[in-house]
Amino acid sequence: MTRSIIKAAAWTLGPDTGDDTPEGVCSVVCLSCGAESAPTENERLPVEVRALKHTGLNPDHRRFKAQAETFWCVTPAEGNPYRETDAQGA
């Protein structure tokens, strides 16, 4: 978690834990032909299996770019006036 002071207000950066936000999204791209797996939410195994199957079908395609996305959220820290405003709106 990173804390920063921007325009005299403290903000905190952390993972986005919203109900509709996944922990992470994974996908893989073959570096030989550009074939890309469908993205998966919160699961890495299906993407790994996809890479292995792709190489099984195309034995020369062995290098992949694994892509992992995470989601962040900035919230008001202690002493930030938006913290009280957010609490009233919740």
Using Cβ positions, the residue closest to Zn ion within the complex turns out to be: 30
Complex with Zn ion: residue 32 or 67, whichever CB lies closer: 32
- Side-chain half-sphere CA neighbours of 12 within 13 A: 12
Does 30 sit near Zn ion (CB under 5 A)? yes
Q: Mind spelling out the 3-state secondary structure of 29-90?
A: EECCCCCECCCEECCCHHHHHHHHHHHHHCCCCCCEEEEEECCEEEEECCCCHHHHHHHHHC
Task: Spell out, one character per residue from 31 to 70, where the chain touches Zn ion: x when CB under 5 A holds, - when not.
Answer: -xx-x-------------------------x---------
Q: Which is nearer to Zn ion, 61 or 83 (CB)?
A: 61
Instruction: State the nearest-atom distance from the C-beta of 52 to Zn ion, in Å.
Output: 12
The four Cα atoms 70, 73, 78, 81 give a dihedral, to 10 degrees, of: 170
How many residues make contact with Zn ion (CB under 5 A)? 5
Which residue ranges make up the site for Zn ion (CB under 5 A)? 30, 32-33, 35, 61
